Structure 1
Protein backbone atom coordinates (compact mmCIF):
# COMPACT_ATOMS: atom_id res chain seq x y z
CA UNK A 1 0.00 0.00 0.00
CA UNK A 2 0.99 3.58 -0.52
CA UNK A 3 -0.04 6.64 1.44
CA UNK A 4 -0.90 9.84 -0.48
CA UNK A 5 -1.96 13.29 0.64
CA UNK A 6 -4.44 15.53 -1.19
CA UNK A 7 -3.90 19.20 -0.32
CA UNK A 8 -6.44 22.01 -0.21
CA UNK A 9 -7.53 23.13 -3.70
CA UNK A 10 -6.77 19.74 -5.23
CA UNK A 11 -8.64 16.59 -6.17
CA UNK A 12 -7.25 13.14 -6.85
CA UNK A 13 -8.65 10.62 -9.31
CA UNK A 14 -7.66 6.99 -8.75
CA UNK A 15 -7.51 4.72 -11.80
CA UNK A 16 -7.00 0.99 -11.90
CA UNK A 17 -6.46 -0.81 -15.17
CA UNK A 18 -7.61 2.33 -17.02
CA UNK A 19 -10.87 2.65 -15.07
CA UNK A 20 -11.80 5.38 -12.57
CA UNK A 21 -12.47 3.73 -9.23
CA UNK A 22 -12.67 6.62 -6.76
CA UNK A 23 -12.29 10.35 -6.22
CA UNK A 24 -10.04 11.63 -3.42
CA UNK A 25 -10.58 15.02 -1.81
CA UNK A 26 -8.51 16.87 0.82
CA UNK A 27 -6.82 14.57 3.31
CA UNK A 28 -4.58 11.46 3.61
CA UNK A 29 -5.48 8.36 1.65
CA UNK A 30 -4.09 4.89 0.93
CA UNK A 31 -3.56 3.39 -2.49
CA UNK A 32 -3.39 -0.31 -3.21
CA UNK A 33 -1.08 -1.91 -5.72
CA UNK A 34 -1.97 -1.32 -9.41
CA UNK A 35 -3.84 1.86 -8.47
CA UNK A 36 -2.68 5.11 -10.13
CA UNK A 37 -3.38 8.57 -8.71
CA UNK A 38 -3.69 11.71 -10.85
CA UNK A 39 -3.87 15.02 -9.01
CA UNK A 40 -5.86 17.94 -10.43
CA UNK A 41 -5.84 21.66 -9.58
CA UNK A 42 -9.40 22.84 -8.86
CA UNK A 43 -8.60 26.22 -10.47
CA UNK A 44 -7.83 24.67 -13.86
CA UNK A 45 -9.84 22.90 -16.51
CA UNK A 46 -10.10 19.13 -16.16
CA UNK A 47 -8.32 17.06 -18.82
CA UNK A 48 -9.11 13.37 -18.42
CA UNK A 49 -6.66 10.64 -19.48
CA UNK A 50 -9.60 8.59 -20.76
CA UNK A 51 -12.75 9.34 -22.72
CA UNK A 52 -15.47 11.13 -20.76
CA UNK A 53 -17.93 8.33 -21.58
CA UNK A 54 -15.81 6.03 -19.39
CA UNK A 55 -16.31 8.21 -16.27
CA UNK A 56 -19.73 9.74 -16.80
CA UNK A 57 -21.36 7.11 -14.62
CA UNK A 58 -19.23 8.18 -11.63
CA UNK A 59 -21.79 10.40 -9.86
CA UNK A 60 -19.22 11.53 -7.29
CA UNK A 61 -17.08 13.03 -10.04
CA UNK A 62 -19.97 14.39 -12.12
CA UNK A 63 -21.31 16.30 -9.11
CA UNK A 64 -17.97 18.09 -8.83
CA UNK A 65 -17.95 19.23 -12.48
CA UNK A 66 -19.44 21.71 -14.92
CA UNK A 67 -19.86 19.77 -18.14
CA UNK A 68 -20.12 22.24 -21.02
CA UNK A 69 -21.20 20.83 -24.38
CA UNK A 70 -20.49 23.16 -27.31
CA UNK A 71 -21.94 22.26 -30.72
CA UNK A 72 -20.76 23.31 -34.15
CA UNK A 73 -21.69 26.94 -34.93
CA UNK A 74 -21.73 27.69 -31.19
CA UNK A 75 -19.47 29.57 -28.83
CA UNK A 76 -19.43 29.60 -25.05
CA UNK A 77 -17.97 32.50 -23.06
CA UNK A 78 -16.49 31.46 -19.74
CA UNK A 79 -16.60 33.86 -16.78
CA UNK A 80 -14.58 33.06 -13.69
CA UNK A 81 -15.70 34.83 -10.48
CA UNK A 82 -17.45 37.41 -12.69
CA UNK A 83 -14.46 38.06 -14.97
CA UNK A 84 -14.18 36.96 -18.57
CA UNK A 85 -11.67 34.13 -18.94
CA UNK A 86 -11.90 32.39 -22.32
CA UNK A 87 -14.00 31.30 -25.30
CA UNK A 88 -14.94 27.67 -25.83
CA UNK A 89 -15.44 26.26 -29.32
CA UNK A 90 -17.12 23.01 -30.39
CA UNK A 91 -16.45 20.06 -28.10
CA UNK A 92 -16.89 18.97 -24.47
CA UNK A 93 -15.24 21.02 -21.73
CA UNK A 94 -14.97 20.16 -18.03
CA UNK A 95 -14.54 22.62 -15.14
CA UNK A 96 -14.41 21.99 -11.39
CA UNK A 97 -17.26 23.58 -9.46
CA UNK A 98 -15.77 23.30 -5.99
CA UNK A 99 -13.46 26.28 -5.66
CA UNK A 100 -14.25 28.90 -8.32
CA UNK A 101 -17.57 30.38 -9.40
CA UNK A 102 -18.08 29.84 -13.12
CA UNK A 103 -20.68 31.34 -15.38
CA UNK A 104 -21.23 30.37 -19.03
CA UNK A 105 -22.91 32.30 -21.86
CA UNK A 106 -23.74 30.35 -24.99
CA UNK A 107 -23.99 32.07 -28.39
CA UNK A 108 -25.42 30.64 -31.59
CA UNK A 109 -23.08 31.68 -34.41
CA UNK A 110 -25.51 30.50 -37.09
CA UNK A 111 -27.39 33.71 -36.28
CA UNK A 112 -25.92 37.05 -37.30
CA UNK A 113 -27.02 39.03 -34.27
CA UNK A 114 -24.75 38.96 -31.21
CA UNK A 115 -26.69 38.47 -27.94
CA UNK A 116 -27.14 41.63 -25.90
CA UNK A 117 -25.93 39.87 -22.72
CA UNK A 118 -22.44 39.80 -24.24
CA UNK A 119 -20.76 43.07 -23.32
CA UNK A 120 -19.67 44.96 -26.46
CA UNK A 121 -16.33 45.70 -24.79
CA UNK A 122 -15.54 41.98 -24.83
CA UNK A 123 -16.00 41.80 -28.60
CA UNK A 124 -12.75 43.69 -29.15
CA UNK A 125 -10.77 41.14 -27.11
CA UNK A 126 -8.66 38.87 -29.29
CA UNK A 127 -10.35 35.72 -27.98
CA UNK A 128 -13.69 36.93 -29.40
CA UNK A 129 -12.64 39.38 -32.14
CA UNK A 130 -11.61 36.57 -34.48
CA UNK A 131 -15.21 35.34 -34.52
CA UNK A 132 -16.75 38.76 -35.18
CA UNK A 133 -17.26 40.90 -38.29
CA UNK A 134 -17.06 44.64 -37.62
CA UNK A 135 -18.49 47.43 -39.77
CA UNK A 136 -18.08 51.11 -38.92
CA UNK A 137 -20.33 53.86 -40.26
CA UNK A 138 -18.84 57.34 -39.77
CA UNK A 139 -20.77 60.32 -38.41
CA UNK A 140 -21.15 61.82 -41.90
CA UNK A 141 -22.28 58.55 -43.48
CA UNK A 142 -25.30 56.35 -43.88
CA UNK A 143 -25.09 52.69 -44.88
CA UNK A 144 -27.34 50.03 -46.40
CA UNK A 145 -27.06 46.52 -44.93
CA UNK A 146 -27.10 43.66 -47.43
CA UNK A 147 -27.52 40.10 -46.11
CA UNK A 148 -26.94 37.45 -48.77
CA UNK A 149 -27.13 40.34 -51.27
CA UNK A 150 -30.64 41.29 -50.13
CA UNK A 151 -31.21 44.81 -48.75
CA UNK A 152 -32.24 44.49 -45.11
CA UNK A 153 -32.05 47.83 -43.34
CA UNK A 154 -30.50 51.28 -43.19
CA UNK A 155 -27.63 51.82 -40.75
CA UNK A 156 -26.94 55.18 -39.12
CA UNK A 157 -23.56 56.27 -37.74
CA UNK A 158 -22.08 53.72 -35.35
CA UNK A 159 -20.20 50.41 -35.03
CA UNK A 160 -21.99 47.21 -36.01
CA UNK A 161 -20.84 43.67 -35.20
CA UNK A 162 -22.03 40.33 -36.54
CA UNK A 163 -20.89 36.75 -36.05
CA UNK A 164 -18.62 35.31 -38.70
CA UNK A 165 -20.47 32.52 -40.45
CA UNK A 166 -21.45 31.40 -43.95
CA UNK A 167 -23.94 34.24 -44.36
CA UNK A 168 -22.77 37.03 -46.67
CA UNK A 169 -22.88 40.44 -45.00
CA UNK A 170 -22.07 43.65 -46.87
CA UNK A 171 -22.71 47.32 -46.33
CA UNK A 172 -22.86 50.11 -48.90
CA UNK A 173 -21.80 53.47 -47.46
CA UNK A 174 -23.15 56.83 -48.63
CA UNK A 175 -21.50 60.18 -47.80
CA UNK A 176 -24.20 62.58 -46.56
CA UNK A 177 -22.01 65.70 -46.64
CA UNK A 178 -22.21 68.45 -49.27
CA UNK A 179 -20.12 67.24 -52.20
CA UNK A 180 -18.64 69.06 -55.19
CA UNK A 181 -18.57 67.46 -58.62
CA UNK A 182 -16.11 68.87 -61.15
CA UNK A 183 -16.91 68.76 -64.88
CA UNK A 184 -13.47 69.85 -66.07
CA UNK A 185 -11.87 70.50 -69.45
CA UNK A 186 -15.03 70.28 -71.56
CA UNK A 187 -14.07 71.16 -75.16
CA UNK A 188 -17.08 72.86 -76.73
CA UNK A 189 -18.05 74.89 -79.80
CA UNK A 190 -20.03 78.08 -79.44
CA UNK A 191 -22.73 79.20 -81.85
CA UNK A 192 -20.13 81.16 -83.87
CA UNK A 193 -17.85 78.06 -84.00
CA UNK A 194 -15.32 79.31 -81.43
CA UNK A 195 -13.47 76.42 -79.77
CA UNK A 196 -13.33 76.78 -75.97
CA UNK A 197 -12.79 74.69 -72.84
CA UNK A 198 -15.08 75.10 -69.86
CA UNK A 199 -14.58 74.03 -66.23
CA UNK A 200 -17.95 73.54 -64.55
CA UNK A 201 -18.84 72.56 -60.96
CA UNK A 202 -21.94 71.39 -59.11
CA UNK A 203 -22.58 71.14 -55.37
CA UNK A 204 -24.89 68.30 -54.32
CA UNK A 205 -25.79 65.93 -51.48
CA UNK A 206 -27.43 62.52 -51.21
CA UNK A 207 -30.92 62.74 -49.72
CA UNK A 208 -32.21 59.23 -50.50
CA UNK A 209 -29.54 56.58 -50.01
CA UNK A 210 -31.80 53.67 -51.02
CA UNK A 211 -32.59 55.28 -54.37
CA UNK A 212 -28.97 56.37 -54.92
CA UNK A 213 -27.48 52.90 -54.22
CA UNK A 214 -30.21 50.39 -55.03
CA UNK A 215 -31.90 52.02 -58.03
CA UNK A 216 -28.80 53.48 -59.70
CA UNK A 217 -25.37 52.23 -60.64
CA UNK A 218 -22.81 54.91 -59.79
CA UNK A 219 -25.19 57.82 -59.21
CA UNK A 220 -22.26 60.26 -59.16
CA UNK A 221 -21.24 59.31 -62.70
CA UNK A 222 -24.83 59.66 -63.92
CA UNK A 223 -25.01 63.15 -62.42
CA UNK A 224 -21.72 64.01 -64.15
CA UNK A 225 -23.08 62.94 -67.56
CA UNK A 226 -26.33 64.86 -67.04
CA UNK A 227 -24.39 68.04 -66.24
CA UNK A 228 -22.07 67.50 -69.19
CA UNK A 229 -24.87 67.04 -71.75
CA UNK A 230 -26.89 69.96 -70.44
CA UNK A 231 -23.83 72.23 -70.50
CA UNK A 232 -23.04 71.29 -74.10
CA UNK A 233 -26.61 71.98 -75.18
CA UNK A 234 -26.74 75.48 -73.68
CA UNK A 235 -23.24 76.56 -74.73
CA UNK A 236 -24.06 75.74 -78.36
CA UNK A 237 -26.86 78.34 -78.28
CA UNK A 238 -24.55 81.30 -77.56
CA UNK A 239 -21.82 83.11 -79.46
CA UNK A 240 -18.49 83.56 -77.70
CA UNK A 241 -19.25 87.14 -76.65
CA UNK A 242 -22.71 86.13 -75.43
CA UNK A 243 -21.24 83.21 -73.51
CA UNK A 244 -18.72 85.41 -71.72
CA UNK A 245 -21.48 87.85 -70.82
CA UNK A 246 -24.06 85.27 -69.74
CA UNK A 247 -22.11 82.72 -67.67
CA UNK A 248 -24.51 83.06 -64.74
CA UNK A 249 -27.56 82.64 -66.99
CA UNK A 250 -26.13 79.46 -68.51
CA UNK A 251 -25.36 78.02 -65.07
CA UNK A 252 -28.91 78.73 -63.92
CA UNK A 253 -30.32 77.03 -67.02
CA UNK A 254 -28.18 73.94 -66.48
CA UNK A 255 -29.24 73.86 -62.81
CA UNK A 256 -32.95 73.96 -63.72
CA UNK A 257 -32.67 71.25 -66.35
CA UNK A 258 -30.59 68.82 -64.27
CA UNK A 259 -32.97 69.12 -61.29
CA UNK A 260 -35.35 66.77 -63.10
CA UNK A 261 -32.64 64.09 -63.22
CA UNK A 262 -31.36 64.39 -59.65
CA UNK A 263 -34.67 63.38 -58.07
CA UNK A 264 -34.43 59.94 -59.69
CA UNK A 265 -30.82 59.67 -58.52
CA UNK A 266 -31.70 60.31 -54.88
CA UNK A 267 -29.54 63.45 -54.99
CA UNK A 268 -30.32 67.09 -54.25
CA UNK A 269 -28.55 69.62 -56.48
CA UNK A 270 -27.58 72.64 -54.38
CA UNK A 271 -25.77 74.96 -56.80
CA UNK A 272 -23.67 74.97 -59.93
CA UNK A 273 -21.62 77.42 -62.00
CA UNK A 274 -18.95 77.98 -64.61
CA UNK A 275 -15.51 78.30 -63.03
CA UNK A 276 -13.38 79.01 -66.09
CA UNK A 277 -13.78 79.65 -69.80
CA UNK A 278 -10.46 78.80 -71.46
CA UNK A 279 -9.72 79.88 -75.04
CA UNK A 280 -7.49 77.86 -77.36
CA UNK A 281 -4.09 79.33 -78.28
CA UNK A 282 -5.14 80.85 -81.64
CA UNK A 283 -8.43 82.17 -80.28
CA UNK A 284 -6.62 83.68 -77.31
CA UNK A 285 -4.28 85.62 -79.64
CA UNK A 286 -7.25 86.93 -81.64
CA UNK A 287 -9.07 88.03 -78.47
CA UNK A 288 -5.93 89.75 -77.21
CA UNK A 289 -5.61 91.66 -80.50
CA UNK A 290 -9.28 92.71 -80.30
CA UNK A 291 -8.81 93.85 -76.73
CA UNK A 292 -5.67 95.84 -77.60
CA UNK A 293 -7.44 97.49 -80.52
CA UNK A 294 -10.42 98.38 -78.32
CA UNK A 295 -8.19 99.87 -75.63
CA UNK A 296 -6.20 101.87 -78.19
CA UNK A 297 -9.42 103.23 -79.66
CA UNK A 298 -10.62 104.18 -76.19
CA UNK A 299 -7.29 105.87 -75.45
CA UNK A 300 -7.46 107.78 -78.73
CA UNK A 301 -10.98 109.00 -77.95
CA UNK A 302 -9.91 110.14 -74.51
CA UNK A 303 -6.83 111.96 -75.94
CA UNK A 304 -8.93 113.80 -78.51
CA UNK A 305 -11.46 114.71 -75.89
CA UNK A 306 -8.74 116.18 -73.67
CA UNK A 307 -7.18 118.07 -76.57
CA UNK A 308 -10.55 119.53 -77.48
CA UNK A 309 -11.16 120.60 -73.90
CA UNK A 310 -7.70 122.18 -73.72
CA UNK A 311 -8.17 124.09 -76.99
CA UNK A 312 -11.58 125.31 -75.85
CA UNK A 313 -10.04 126.53 -72.60
CA UNK A 314 -7.30 128.44 -74.49
CA UNK A 315 -9.89 129.98 -76.78
CA UNK A 316 -11.95 131.18 -73.84
CA UNK A 317 -8.84 132.64 -72.20
CA UNK A 318 -7.85 134.46 -75.41
CA UNK A 319 -11.29 136.02 -75.72
CA UNK A 320 -11.14 137.28 -72.15
CA UNK A 321 -7.67 138.72 -72.66
CA UNK A 322 -8.73 140.48 -75.86
CA UNK A 323 -11.56 142.17 -74.02
CA UNK A 324 -9.59 143.05 -70.91
CA UNK A 325 -6.14 144.69 -71.25
CA UNK A 326 -5.38 144.31 -67.52
CA UNK A 327 -6.01 140.57 -67.74
CA UNK A 328 -3.70 140.45 -70.75
CA UNK A 329 -0.91 142.12 -68.79
CA UNK A 330 -1.42 139.79 -65.81
CA UNK A 331 -1.20 136.77 -68.09
CA UNK A 332 1.88 138.26 -69.72
CA UNK A 333 3.54 138.69 -66.33
CA UNK A 334 2.61 135.10 -65.40
CA UNK A 335 4.44 133.73 -68.43
CA UNK A 336 7.41 136.01 -67.82
CA UNK A 337 7.56 134.64 -64.24
CA UNK A 338 7.53 131.05 -65.49
CA UNK A 339 10.32 131.75 -67.95
CA UNK A 340 12.35 133.61 -65.36
CA UNK A 341 12.22 130.53 -63.08
CA UNK A 342 14.35 128.70 -65.66
CA UNK A 343 17.12 131.37 -65.73
CA UNK A 344 19.80 131.60 -63.08
CA UNK A 345 20.72 135.35 -63.40
CA UNK A 346 19.21 138.36 -65.23
CA UNK A 347 20.91 141.81 -65.46
CA UNK A 348 18.69 144.89 -65.98
CA UNK A 349 19.72 148.57 -66.55
CA UNK A 350 17.87 151.66 -65.47
CA UNK A 351 16.18 152.45 -68.77
CA UNK A 352 12.46 151.66 -68.72
CA UNK A 353 10.36 149.57 -66.34
CA UNK A 354 11.45 146.14 -65.19
CA UNK A 355 8.49 144.37 -66.77
CA UNK A 356 9.06 146.08 -70.06
CA UNK A 357 12.74 145.13 -70.11
CA UNK A 358 11.89 141.49 -69.28
CA UNK A 359 9.35 141.51 -72.05
CA UNK A 360 11.92 142.79 -74.51
CA UNK A 361 14.43 140.16 -73.40
CA UNK A 362 12.02 137.20 -73.88
CA UNK A 363 10.26 138.60 -76.93
CA UNK A 364 10.79 136.65 -80.13
CA UNK A 365 11.72 138.71 -83.13
CA UNK A 366 9.45 138.03 -86.03
Structure 2
Protein backbone atom coordinates (compact mmCIF):
# COMPACT_ATOMS: atom_id res chain seq x y z
CA UNK A 1 0.00 0.00 0.00
CA UNK A 2 1.13 3.51 -0.77
CA UNK A 3 -0.26 6.60 0.92
CA UNK A 4 -0.12 9.81 -1.10
CA UNK A 5 -0.42 12.99 0.95
CA UNK A 6 -2.55 15.96 -0.23
CA UNK A 7 0.57 17.87 -1.25
CA UNK A 8 2.12 14.95 -3.17
CA UNK A 9 1.77 13.31 -6.58
CA UNK A 10 3.45 9.98 -7.38
CA UNK A 11 4.29 8.95 -10.93
CA UNK A 12 3.73 5.20 -11.17
CA UNK A 13 5.88 3.10 -13.51
CA UNK A 14 5.74 -0.65 -14.07
CA UNK A 15 8.50 -2.50 -15.96
CA UNK A 16 9.86 0.93 -16.93
CA UNK A 17 6.62 2.04 -18.57
CA UNK A 18 4.37 4.85 -17.34
CA UNK A 19 1.17 3.61 -15.71
CA UNK A 20 -0.53 6.60 -14.08
CA UNK A 21 -0.22 9.47 -11.62
CA UNK A 22 -1.25 8.57 -8.08
CA UNK A 23 -3.46 11.26 -6.59
CA UNK A 24 -3.79 11.85 -2.80
CA UNK A 25 -5.09 8.82 -0.93
CA UNK A 26 -4.18 5.14 -0.41
CA UNK A 27 -3.19 3.00 -3.38
CA UNK A 28 -2.43 -0.71 -3.70
CA UNK A 29 0.71 -1.31 -5.74
CA UNK A 30 1.45 -4.89 -6.74
CA UNK A 31 4.84 -6.47 -7.33
CA UNK A 32 8.44 -5.39 -7.05
CA UNK A 33 8.43 -4.34 -10.70
CA UNK A 34 6.58 -1.15 -9.87
CA UNK A 35 8.63 2.02 -9.45
CA UNK A 36 7.60 5.30 -7.77
CA UNK A 37 10.15 8.14 -8.12
CA UNK A 38 10.40 10.28 -4.96
CA UNK A 39 7.70 12.96 -5.08
CA UNK A 40 8.23 16.69 -4.79
CA UNK A 41 5.94 19.17 -3.16
CA UNK A 42 3.71 20.49 -5.98
CA UNK A 43 4.25 24.12 -4.95
CA UNK A 44 7.46 25.65 -3.65
CA UNK A 45 9.63 28.75 -3.62
CA UNK A 46 12.22 28.80 -6.39
CA UNK A 47 15.29 30.94 -5.72
CA UNK A 48 18.37 31.82 -7.76
CA UNK A 49 21.36 32.81 -5.64
CA UNK A 50 23.16 36.11 -6.42
CA UNK A 51 24.87 35.91 -9.80
CA UNK A 52 27.86 38.16 -10.49
CA UNK A 53 27.36 39.85 -13.85
CA UNK A 54 29.07 42.87 -15.48
CA UNK A 55 26.88 45.78 -16.55
CA UNK A 56 27.25 47.39 -19.98
CA UNK A 57 29.62 49.97 -18.44
CA UNK A 58 31.85 47.29 -16.89
CA UNK A 59 30.73 47.29 -13.24
CA UNK A 60 30.24 43.85 -11.67
CA UNK A 61 27.00 43.51 -9.73
CA UNK A 62 25.31 40.56 -8.05
CA UNK A 63 21.68 39.91 -8.90
CA UNK A 64 19.31 37.31 -7.48
CA UNK A 65 15.77 36.27 -8.39
CA UNK A 66 12.86 34.33 -6.94
CA UNK A 67 9.50 32.91 -8.04
CA UNK A 68 6.70 30.55 -7.08
CA UNK A 69 6.91 27.15 -8.80
CA UNK A 70 4.04 24.71 -9.15
CA UNK A 71 4.18 21.22 -10.66
CA UNK A 72 1.29 20.83 -13.08
CA UNK A 73 2.55 17.85 -15.15
CA UNK A 74 4.18 15.30 -12.79
CA UNK A 75 5.17 12.99 -15.66
CA UNK A 76 7.03 15.72 -17.56
CA UNK A 77 8.64 16.81 -14.30
CA UNK A 78 10.01 13.31 -13.73
CA UNK A 79 10.95 12.43 -17.30
CA UNK A 80 12.30 15.62 -18.85
CA UNK A 81 15.50 16.08 -16.84
CA UNK A 82 17.50 14.28 -14.17
CA UNK A 83 17.40 17.49 -12.14
CA UNK A 84 14.43 19.65 -13.21
CA UNK A 85 15.31 22.43 -10.77
CA UNK A 86 18.82 22.72 -12.20
CA UNK A 87 17.37 22.93 -15.72
CA UNK A 88 15.17 25.87 -14.75
CA UNK A 89 17.94 27.43 -12.64
CA UNK A 90 20.18 27.61 -15.71
CA UNK A 91 17.43 29.28 -17.75
CA UNK A 92 16.95 31.97 -15.09
CA UNK A 93 20.72 32.56 -14.82
CA UNK A 94 20.96 33.05 -18.58
CA UNK A 95 18.10 35.56 -18.55
CA UNK A 96 19.61 37.50 -15.63
CA UNK A 97 22.97 37.76 -17.35
CA UNK A 98 21.44 38.97 -20.62
CA UNK A 99 19.32 41.59 -18.84
CA UNK A 100 22.15 42.99 -16.70
CA UNK A 101 24.71 43.06 -19.52
CA UNK A 102 22.32 45.17 -21.61
CA UNK A 103 22.07 47.89 -18.91
CA UNK A 104 24.35 50.45 -17.30
CA UNK A 105 24.89 50.44 -13.54
CA UNK A 106 22.46 53.34 -13.08
CA UNK A 107 19.80 51.49 -15.08
CA UNK A 108 20.27 48.32 -13.04
CA UNK A 109 20.05 50.25 -9.76
CA UNK A 110 16.92 52.01 -11.01
CA UNK A 111 15.33 48.56 -11.17
CA UNK A 112 14.71 45.83 -13.71
CA UNK A 113 10.95 45.80 -14.12
CA UNK A 114 9.38 42.40 -14.68
CA UNK A 115 5.65 42.71 -15.38
CA UNK A 116 5.31 39.01 -16.14
CA UNK A 117 7.48 35.91 -16.23
CA UNK A 118 9.95 36.23 -19.15
CA UNK A 119 9.04 33.97 -22.09
CA UNK A 120 12.30 32.00 -21.99
CA UNK A 121 11.86 31.19 -18.29
CA UNK A 122 8.18 30.31 -18.69
CA UNK A 123 9.09 27.97 -21.57
CA UNK A 124 11.78 26.25 -19.49
CA UNK A 125 9.30 25.77 -16.65
CA UNK A 126 6.76 24.25 -19.05
CA UNK A 127 9.36 21.77 -20.31
CA UNK A 128 9.80 20.37 -16.80
CA UNK A 129 6.06 20.22 -16.19
CA UNK A 130 5.86 23.34 -14.03
CA UNK A 131 4.08 26.63 -13.93
CA UNK A 132 6.01 29.64 -12.67
CA UNK A 133 4.50 32.79 -11.17
CA UNK A 134 5.43 35.89 -9.16
CA UNK A 135 8.83 36.00 -10.84
CA UNK A 136 10.96 38.99 -9.94
CA UNK A 137 14.41 40.37 -9.18
CA UNK A 138 15.07 40.01 -5.46
CA UNK A 139 18.38 41.77 -4.74
CA UNK A 140 20.95 43.88 -6.57
CA UNK A 141 24.31 44.09 -4.80
CA UNK A 142 27.07 46.47 -5.92
CA UNK A 143 30.78 46.49 -4.93
CA UNK A 144 31.56 48.23 -1.65
CA UNK A 145 33.76 50.92 -3.22
CA UNK A 146 31.04 51.80 -5.73
CA UNK A 147 28.44 51.99 -2.97
CA UNK A 148 30.67 54.28 -0.87
CA UNK A 149 31.35 56.51 -3.87
CA UNK A 150 27.62 56.76 -4.55
CA UNK A 151 26.95 57.68 -0.92
CA UNK A 152 29.66 60.35 -1.02
CA UNK A 153 28.20 61.76 -4.24
CA UNK A 154 24.74 61.97 -2.71
CA UNK A 155 26.17 63.65 0.41
CA UNK A 156 28.07 66.18 -1.74
CA UNK A 157 24.95 66.94 -3.77
CA UNK A 158 22.94 67.58 -0.61
CA UNK A 159 25.65 69.81 0.83
CA UNK A 160 25.71 71.78 -2.41
CA UNK A 161 21.92 72.20 -2.23
CA UNK A 162 22.17 73.46 1.36
CA UNK A 163 24.91 75.93 0.40
CA UNK A 164 22.86 77.15 -2.58
CA UNK A 165 19.78 77.72 -0.43
CA UNK A 166 21.86 79.56 2.16
CA UNK A 167 23.31 81.82 -0.55
CA UNK A 168 19.84 82.50 -1.95
CA UNK A 169 18.59 83.44 1.52
CA UNK A 170 21.51 85.83 2.07
CA UNK A 171 20.90 87.50 -1.30
CA UNK A 172 17.21 87.88 -0.45
CA UNK A 173 18.08 89.50 2.90
CA UNK A 174 20.57 91.88 1.29
CA UNK A 175 18.03 92.83 -1.38
CA UNK A 176 15.38 93.51 1.28
CA UNK A 177 17.84 95.65 3.28
CA UNK A 178 18.79 97.62 0.17
CA UNK A 179 15.13 98.25 -0.63
CA UNK A 180 14.50 99.42 2.95
CA UNK A 181 17.50 101.74 2.86
CA UNK A 182 16.27 103.26 -0.41
CA UNK A 183 12.82 103.88 1.05
CA UNK A 184 14.24 105.51 4.19
CA UNK A 185 16.55 107.64 2.10
CA UNK A 186 13.66 108.90 0.02
CA UNK A 187 11.40 109.42 3.05
CA UNK A 188 13.39 110.74 6.08
CA UNK A 189 10.28 110.96 8.26
CA UNK A 190 9.84 107.19 7.97
CA UNK A 191 13.36 106.78 9.32
CA UNK A 192 12.47 108.91 12.34
CA UNK A 193 9.29 106.94 12.98
CA UNK A 194 11.16 103.65 12.67
CA UNK A 195 13.80 104.88 15.12
CA UNK A 196 11.12 105.93 17.60
CA UNK A 197 9.40 102.52 17.37
CA UNK A 198 12.68 100.71 17.95
CA UNK A 199 13.57 102.86 20.96
CA UNK A 200 10.09 102.46 22.45
CA UNK A 201 10.26 98.69 22.12
CA UNK A 202 13.46 98.75 24.19
CA UNK A 203 12.15 101.21 26.81
CA UNK A 204 14.04 104.22 25.45
CA UNK A 205 12.99 107.70 24.48
CA UNK A 206 13.60 109.48 21.22
CA UNK A 207 13.39 113.25 20.92
CA UNK A 208 12.82 114.47 17.37
CA UNK A 209 13.59 118.11 16.74
CA UNK A 210 11.69 119.71 13.94
CA UNK A 211 13.71 122.01 11.77
CA UNK A 212 13.03 125.72 12.41
CA UNK A 213 11.24 127.54 9.67
TM-score (norm 2): 0.81
1:301 maps to 2:164: yes
Aligned to 2:33: 167
CA–CA distance in structure 1, aligned partners of residues 3 and 197 of structure 2? 90
More helix by share: 2
Q: Given the alignment of the two structures, is residue 286 of structure 1 paired with residue 128 of structure 2, yes or no?
A: no
- Stretches of structure 2 that go unaligned for 5 or more consecutive residues are 209-213
What is the match of residue 205 of structure 2?
355
SS at structure 2 position matched to 1:162: coil
Equivalent residue for 1:137? 4
Alpha-carbon shift at residue 313 of structure 1 (Å) = 3.3
User: TM-score by structure 1 length?
Assistant: 0.50
Give the secondary structure class of the aligned counterpart of 2:39.
strand
Equivalent-residue separation in structure 2 for 1:181 and 1:189 (angstroms)? 24
More strand by share: 1
Shift of 1:274: 1.9
Match of 2:211 in 1: none
Residue in 2 that maps onto 1:16:
none
**Number of positions where the alignment pairs a residue of Structure 1 with one of Structure 2:** 208
Whether contact under 8 Å (1:149, 1:170) holds in the other structure is no
For 1:146-161, list aligned pairs within 5 A. 146-161=13-28
Give 1:137 deviation, angstroms. Answer: 1.9
| Partner residue in 1 for 2:77 | 212
Does 274-283 or 165-174 show the bigger shift?
165-174
Query: Relative to structure 1, is the Cα distance of residues 171 and 195 closer, same or farther in structure 2, using a 3 angstrom cutoff?
Result: closer
Q: Aligned match of 1:257 in 111, 117, 120?
A: 120
Alignment RMSD, CA only? Answer: 2.9
Shift of 1:161: 3.6
Offset, 1:320: 4.3
